[in-house]
Structure 1
Amino acid sequence: MIRTWTEHPARTGIRRDVSLDFACPESDGQASEDDGAARLSTAAAVWHYPAQVSAPADSARPARRLLLIHGFRGDHHGMALIVDALPEFEIFVPDLPGFGATPPLRRGAGGLAEHTLGAYAACVEALAQALDLGPTDVLVGHSFGSIIVAAHAAQTHPAGHAAQTNPAAHAAQNLPADPAPGSSQSRRWAGLVLFAPISNDIFTGTLLPGAAAVDLYYRASGRLPARWAQVLLRSPAAQAVTNASMILARAPEQVAYIKDQHRRYFSGYSDPNTLLQAYRASSRHTVTEFAPSLDLPVLLVPGAQDQLSTPAGQRRLRRMLPQASSEVLRGTGHLLHYEKPAQAGRALRRFVAALD
């Protein structure tokens, strides 16, 4: 059945469990390759969607594949409508470590690792290598995923190493040490697509009141015993506030779908500590930190009424990117992946066509 919102039938993914083992981004570079403490690992659950529409036999264009990275407190389900809207693409959608079916990151043979932005960015590189994604493919992120993929692309793109322009900021962000150009860790994506990119420091200006309330909620959760933290973090009231503040759709069926998605997957994290670490990573960084180093084609797709970024912040981000284009989606905000998936898919399709 064709979904009204995507203009295409729903797609069914094939789950693949991918073992990842990669360098710890907090390593000071002095640990040996065989030092287990210098490495992170997990078994990533990845959903693979083969292309449903074949390219013309005489097409000279490369068969571009997509790697989609979801946002905070989500998992691969959050990208489902975007996937449906793009039937001609082969797509991979992982659950990030600590969310959905992917366990938290572990450090060597020891306990759980800290889930920093650098760790998530390094995990994307490990996924790309394991899935054999290369220079003809496109990396996509939504919300917190936009920050993760920007951090990853700035670090691994041959012409865009953040440490070359700001070593102190690079170290503070816990990003991996620079790979040598041409090494196996040096990766040139064909392009980068950022849905609802985080362009503003949410603790400033008009975004501050809402951000302060959310921060208080997570800080309070972090001070509670695990049992009570779970009660607060999984509270139906918290979901209701999220729904009331974020949903802009008006069609009853669509509103019901979004609320059901939040009910099913909003609490699909592994444990409160990992969730709080991911919250800190998502709320203390923006795409703008990495924009000057993103020396590759970038598509920005913000919602016109995004609740986590301002129009001025989005314009500033656009000016900072050397090779960027932007398509603003009207009538939606931060939940554009639920509310405007067909429009988001068309924007991505035009961007990819322009790469050829």
Structure 2
Amino acid sequence: MPSSALAATPESPSLARTAHVLGSECAWWEIGPSAGDARATVVLVHGFRGTHHGLLPVVERLPNVRFLAPDLPGFGESRPLASGHTLDDYSAWLEAFLHEVDPNGAAIVLGHSFGSLVIARRPTAIGDRRLVLVNPIAAPALEGQQAILTKLAIFYYWLGSKLPESAGRVLLSHPLITRVMSEVMAKTTSKPLRAWIHAEHERHFSDFSDRDTLLAAFRASVSDSVLAHAHELPASTALIAGALDDIAPLEAQLELARLAELPLHVIAGTGHLVHYETPIAAARLLSEFIDGNSTPDDPERSR
């Protein structure tokens, strides 16, 4: 299990950077070789309540790839957006961020969970960049079997925003709540790995700027689905799913792949935390995608 420190070796340095994007200060990290020496450049878009740290286990397995890893507005070290935190706001922010760090449009854009929604909301804004969606939110959260749990979660975040400041922050950051969420998402039977995952969530799951931003971001995370944009996704998109994912169920992933006519790579024995539980498999799939070997015609990898 890697530490939560930045993925950097003497051959793969990590540089902390800041940029002003849509009037908000954004913290991001450049990890790996220089653009001229890298196999490829990949921009990482992390999930809800996460930070750029979450995807570092995959980064560490690809030292010859250049990664640009921002904290989304309102999370980690990035400041909130003045315009708000709807899904459209996050999508507009991503478009502006890509224009800032990758003006030539050569980078691959990888989004995990909520990050997949930010990308899929307006895929045309991404330009001609290739996309990788990991544990994409394929099904609408306010419909089907997840609807009741989603509404309870909305109430939880609303209550946290309405309580007095100290009480609301305690509720939203309480270790017990974090542990329950972590237990739901983790599917590994390895006790050391589960312990490490829980520690990572405890360390980074409450790195949000304020309660109102957190509520708005959660509402954004359940306001749409990648499935609704299946026909807009470019053909140069690959999907990676966990077979045991409760948040983005496999059945919905299969339907997304069918409608979008895209390759779906299913990793057995893992759920919504592909980047934590099976980073080697995720890195291998990303490496194949970089090399152009991830196609719908590959019978060994596509479903």
Do the two structures share a fold, i.e. TM-score over 0.5? yes
| C-alpha distance in structure 1 between counterparts of 2:141 and 2:21, whole Å | 32
Q: Give the match for residue 19 of structure 2.
A: 18
| C-alpha distance in structure 2 between counterparts of 1:54 and 1:86, whole Å | 16
| Cα shift readout 1:226-282 (whole Å, capped 9, x = no counterpart) | 222111101112112112211112222211211111111111000000000000000
In the TM superposition, 1:326-345 aligns within 5 A as 326-345=264-283
Q: Give the match for residue 90 of structure 1.
A: 66
Seq. identity, %: 33
3-state SS in 1 of match to 2:18: strand
Matched, 1:120 2:73: no
Q: Give the match for residue 188 of structure 1.
A: 128
Q: Give the match for residue 168 of structure 2.
A: 229
Give the Å deviation of 1:289.
Answer: 2.0
Q: Give the match for residue 76 of structure 1.
A: 52
Cα pair 1:75 1:96 within 8 Å, conserved: yes
Q: Give the match for residue 214 of structure 1.
A: 153
Letter in 2 for 1:156: A
Matched, 1:318 2:257: yes
Q: Give the match for residue 48 of structure 1.
A: 30
Letter in 1 for 2:109: L
Give the Å deviation of 1:135.
Answer: 3.6
Letter in 2 for 1:330: A
Give the Å deviation of 1:145.
Answer: 0.4
| C-alpha distance in structure 1 between counterparts of 2:154 and 2:136, whole Å | 20
3-state SS in 2 of match to 1:43: strand
Residues 12 and 257 (structure 1), Cα distance of their counterparts in 2 relative to 1, 3 Å cut:
farther
Letter in 1 for 2:193: Q
| C-alpha distance in structure 1 between counterparts of 2:34 and 2:80, whole Å | 32
Matched, 1:147 2:117: yes
Give the Å deviation of 1:121.
Answer: 0.9
3-state SS in 1 of match to 2:263: strand
Q: Give the match for residue 42 of structure 2.
A: 66
Q: Given the two structures, how large is their TM-score scaled by the length of structure 2?
A: 0.88
| Cα shift readout 1:9-35 (whole Å, capped 9, x = no counterpart) | 8765210011223xxxxxxxxxxxxxx
Residues 239 and 81 (structure 1), Cα distance of their counterparts in 2 relative to 1, 3 Å cut:
same
Cα pair 2:46 2:55 within 8 Å, conserved: yes
| C-alpha distance in structure 2 between counterparts of 1:9 and 1:149, whole Å | 27
Rg (Cα) greater in structure: 1
Number of positions where the alignment pairs a residue of Structure 1 with one of Structure 2: 289
| C-alpha distance in structure 1 between counterparts of 2:143 and 2:275, whole Å | 25
Give the Å deviation of 1:355.
Answer: 6.7
| C-alpha distance in structure 1 between counterparts of 2:205 and 2:105, whole Å | 33
Residues 341 and 299 (structure 1), Cα distance of their counterparts in 2 relative to 1, 3 Å cut:
same
| C-alpha distance in structure 2 between counterparts of 1:274 and 1:217, whole Å | 14
| C-alpha distance in structure 2 between counterparts of 1:263 and 1:270, whole Å | 16
Cα pair 1:53 1:87 within 8 Å, conserved: no
3-state SS in 1 of match to 2:136: coil
| C-alpha distance in structure 1 between counterparts of 2:131 and 2:177, whole Å | 32
Cα pair 1:17 1:46 within 8 Å, conserved: yes
Q: Give the match for residue 273 of structure 1.
A: 212
Give the Å deviation of 1:65.
Answer: 0.7
Q: Give the match for residue 251 of structure 1.
A: 190
In the TM superposition, 1:163-202 aligns within 5 A as 187-189=127-129, 191-202=130-141
Candidates 243, 250, 254, aligned match of 1:304: 243
Q: Give the match for residue 230 of structure 2.
A: 291
Give unpaired runs (5+ residues) of structure 2.
295-303
Residues 68 and 204 (structure 1), Cα distance of their counterparts in 2 relative to 1, 3 Å cut:
same
Letter in 2 for 1:129: H
| Cα shift readout 1:103-135 (whole Å, capped 9, x = no counterpart) | 1112xxxxxx31111111111111111113434
Give the Å deviation of 1:295.
Answer: 2.5
Q: Give the match for residue 203 of structure 1.
A: 142
| Cα shift readout 1:288-321 (whole Å, capped 9, x = no counterpart) | 1222111231110010011112222111111221
| C-alpha distance in structure 2 between counterparts of 1:12 and 1:338, whole Å | 22
Give the Å deviation of 1:63.
Answer: 4.3
Matched, 1:352 2:302: no
Q: Quote the RMSD (CA, aligned, Å).
A: 2.4
Q: Given the two structures, how large is their TM-score scaled by the length of structure 1?
A: 0.76
